[in-house]
């Protein structure tokens, strides 16, 4: 009998978890044995100047959310720097195989985000790669169910592990489950996710220190080595173009919105309110780019639009899709709102530049990459007060752009302040710059620091392995001499017998 609120696929995965992990351990041991035989014959591997990095993540393209894009950029820059980077990810439609990209992990549909898959077992190929090859760094991207397999084996092999935490899963449990499903979810999250990261991870990282302190109790108490994983944008795409370019992009967006508003039978991901106001030169275009889901709290913007009516002429553009889409469209009736549906990341920079203000109401972000992308395009942002945004942006952005969630008129006042003509001028004078090249170089420096920090452990491990190799070689030589001695005795005895039988 299925437990209410728990998907059957998740129950099946939990019941098959132990048998699958035992198979993975067996494959790992076979790979380790083969590596040991090679070491005995060939000797220890040569040290390379470049790094060999293994990244294990459930979040890669063709997914388009922030975590997938983040690691796509990291990998591109690392490979451009000459490092060997292998990626293991779940099997999914549109994923491609290369010598360095392995979408082989057994997976199931994420019950809290139907567009994503999550791996629940290491599988044979990852187990083999983890046991057979030498790695400078293993980077495990959380949330992941593979911590119990990957991290203790890396600790046993003295491979430094970088555990980066990107999602507040406990918030998802609160939003999407209740009763026994919530209790089971939080229990398994602690046992399968948090415990191995805190127990065996060399470094635990997140985009902000405050999230890490709140997420992992040992981080706050100082019992963990922690780091802030760097973030950037593609500066060649997300930038402040000329005023003429921005005017062209705004006109293109206005034409699209006008066409959408005039069409009653729009596409299934595009809708309009029944009383959308016309878009004129003085209309302030507001933009939201995010997954349409309860934890994003998008519904908070609609009362603010009503409060601005008659004060500021605005039109809100919402980009994204998700489980709350129909509900949000219903709430937006009678308001100047257009839903554009899902738009490729490559098409976002013109939208950011065309907008007068970017808005997010989400307090569940671990970073909020869309905020950084908007600021890189010199578009003012309106964000809520929360521990993450306060750590990232308090004191760096005008206080009037940050609103108190739940406080009457606070969001409307923030929108009015950020849509002021002086707001963009302020950003142009105080630009926010963060490239993926600089971010990846910082991440590589963190890897290097972690490798150096792990050096004493590695030396002890190498010394032990070398002693064991010497002992095994001595034993092998001894066995060879023993066998050779007895073979010589047998040959001599056989020769005497033949000599006695053959006359002359």
Give the count of alpha carbons within 13 A of 71, CB side only: 28
Output the pLDDT for position 89.
93
Is residue 334 classed as helix, strand or coil in its secondary structure? coil
238 token code pair? 């997300």
87 token code pair? 């990626």
Distance, CA of 401 to CA of 93 (rounded, Å): 40
**Cα maximum dimension of the chain:** 126
pLDDT in tens, the chain (504 residues): 445 555 666 677 677 777 888 899 999 999 988 888 887 777 777 777 789 999 999 988 877 778 898 999 999 999 999 999 999 999 877 667 777 889 889 888 876 677 778 888 899 999 999 999 999 999 999 999 899 999 999 999 999 999 999 988 888 788 777 788 888 888 888 888 999 999 999 999 999 999 999 889 888 888 889 999 999 999 999 998 788 888 899 999 998 888 876 654 444 444 444 344 578 888 999 999 999 998 899 999 999 999 998 889 999 999 999 899 999 999 999 899 999 999 988 899 999 999 999 999 999 888 999 999 999 999 999 999 999 999 999 999 999 999 999 888 999 999 999 999 899 999 999 999 889 999 999 999 999 999 999 888 777 777 777 777 777 778 878 888 888 877 887 887 877 777 777 765
Strands (E), 349-496: 357-359, 381-384, 402-403
How long, in residues, is the chain? 504
The H-assigned helical ranges of 81-228 are 123-132, 147-157, 169-176, 179-188, 195-200, 209-215, 217-220
Q: Are 319 and 344 in contact (CB under 8 A)?
A: no
Q: Are 370 and 360 in contact (CB under 8 A)?
A: yes
Is residue 168 classed as helix, strand or coil in its secondary structure? coil
Output the pLDDT for position 277.
53
Distance, CA of 37 to CA of 468 (rounded, Å): 12
This model's pTM is above 0.85 = no
CB atoms within 10 A of CB 249: 19
Output the pLDDT for position 275.
41
46 token code pair? 């040569």
Q: CB-based contacts of 394: which residues, under 8 Å, 6+ apart? A: 402
Output the pLDDT for position 64.
72
Output the pLDDT for position 401.
97
Output the pLDDT for position 202.
95
Output the pLDDT for position 7.
62
Q: CB-based contacts of 125: which residues, under 8 Å, 6+ apart? A: 88, 102, 104
Angle, vertex CA 290, rays to CA 254 and CA 252, nearest 5:
15
Q: Which of 116, 98, 99 is nearest to 107 (CA)?
A: 116
Output the pLDDT for position 192.
85
């Amino acid at each position: 009998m299925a437990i209410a609120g728990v998907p059957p696929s998740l129950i099946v995965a939990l019941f098959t978890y132990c048998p699958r992990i035992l198979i993975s351990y067996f494959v790992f041991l076979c790979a380790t044995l083969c590596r040991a035989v090679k070491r005995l014959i060939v000797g220890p591997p040569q040290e390379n100047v470049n790094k060999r990095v293994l990244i294990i993540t459930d979040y890669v393209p063709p997914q388009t959310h922030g975590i997938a894009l983040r690691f796509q950029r990291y990998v591109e820059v690392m490979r451009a720097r000459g490092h060997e980077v292998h990626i293991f990810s779940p099997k999914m439609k549109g994923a491609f195989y290369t010598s360095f990209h392995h979408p082989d992990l057994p997976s199931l549909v994420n019950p809290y985000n139907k567009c994503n898959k999550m791996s629940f077992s290491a599988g044979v190929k990852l187990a083999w790669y983890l046991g057979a090859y030498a790695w400078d760094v293993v980077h495990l991207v959380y949330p992941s169910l593979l911590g119990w397999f990957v991290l203790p084996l890396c600790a046993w092999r003295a491979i430094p592990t970088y555990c980066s935490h990107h999602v507040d899963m406990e918030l998802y449990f609160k939003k999407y489950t209740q009763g026994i499903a919530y209790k089971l979810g939080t229990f398994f999250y602690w046992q399968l996710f948090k415990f191995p990261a805190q127990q065996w991870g060399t470094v635990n990282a997140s985009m902000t220190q405050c999230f890490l302190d709140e997420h992992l109790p040992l981080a706050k108490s100082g019992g963990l080595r922690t780091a802030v994983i760097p973030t950037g944008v593609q500066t060649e795409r997300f930038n402040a173009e000329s005023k003429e370019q921005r005017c062209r992009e705004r006109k293109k967006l206005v034409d699209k919105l006008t066409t959408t508003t005039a069409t009653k039978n729009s596409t299934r991901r595009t809708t309009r309110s029944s009383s959308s106001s016309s878009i004129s030169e003085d209309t302030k275009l507001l933009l939201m780019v995010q997954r349409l889901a309860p934890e994003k709290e998008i519904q908070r913007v609609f009362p603010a639009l009503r409060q601005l009516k008659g004060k500021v002429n605005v039109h809100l553009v919402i980009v994204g899709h998700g489980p709350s889409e129909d509900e949000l469209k219903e709430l937006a009736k009678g308001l100047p709102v257009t839903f554009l549906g899902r738009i490729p990341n490559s098409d976002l920079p013109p939208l950011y530049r065309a907008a007068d203000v970017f808005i997010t109401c989400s307090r569940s972000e671990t970073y909020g990459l869309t905020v950084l992308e908007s600021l890189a395009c010199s578009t003012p942002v309106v964000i809520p007060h929360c521990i993450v945004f306060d750590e990232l942006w308090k004191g760096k952005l005008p206080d009037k752009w940050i609103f108190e969630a739940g406080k009457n008129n606070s969001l409307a006042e923030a929108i009015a302040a950020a849509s002021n003509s002086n707001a963009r001028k302020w950003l142009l004078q105080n630009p926010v710059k963060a490239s993926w090249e600089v971010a990846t170089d910082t991440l590589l420096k963190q890897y290097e620091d972690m490798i150096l920090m792990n050096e004493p452990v590695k030396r002890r491990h190498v010394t032990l392995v070398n002693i064991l190799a010497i002992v095994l070689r001595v034993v092998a030589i001894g066995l060879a001499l023993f066998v050779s001695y007895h073979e010589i005795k047998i040959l001599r005895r056989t020769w005497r017998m033949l000599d006695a039988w053959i006359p002359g």
